């Protein structure tokens, strides 16, 4: 296969990545407090979290929703499958 590179902000510190049921790839950006998404067509978007939250753990639940933890704010959060 070919190597595809999807640049993100240099300070984002991408870490954990998972595949959603729709084929999109979601990943944590604990350096700039965001959750990133790369769609199957390569389009990128991100969800901004509260400053200093430092998202880290990430998984897709049985309902297709994305679940993640935050290191600094000590939370477990959910993003709905259609968000």
The model's pTM: 0.90
Question: Domains (ranges, CATH) in the chain?
Answer: 14-79 (2.40.10.500)
Q: If pLDDT is split at 50, 70 and 90, which confidence band does 40 have?
A: very high
pLDDT for 27 equals: 97
H-helix or E-strand containing 70?
Answer: strand 66-70
pLDDT for 82 equals: 65
Q: If pLDDT is split at 50, 70 and 90, which confidence band does 72 have?
A: confident
Distances (CA, A) of 39 to 19, 25, 45, 50, 52: 10, 6, 8, 24, 26
pLDDT in tens, 52-71: 999 999 999 998 999 999 99
Mean pLDDT of 11-26: 94
Gap between the Cα atoms of 17 and 31, Å rounded: 15
């Amino acid at each position: 296969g070919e190597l595809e590179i999807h640049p993100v902000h240099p300070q984002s510190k991408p870490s954990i990545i998972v595949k959603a049921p729709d084929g999109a790839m979601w990943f944590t950006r604990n350096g700039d407090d965001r959750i990133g998404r790369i769609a199957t067509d390569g389009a990128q978007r991100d969800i901004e979290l509260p400053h200093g939250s430092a998202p880290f753990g990430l998984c897709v639940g049985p309902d297709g929703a994305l679940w993640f933890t935050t290191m600094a704010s000590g939370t477990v959060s959910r993003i709905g499958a259609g968000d």
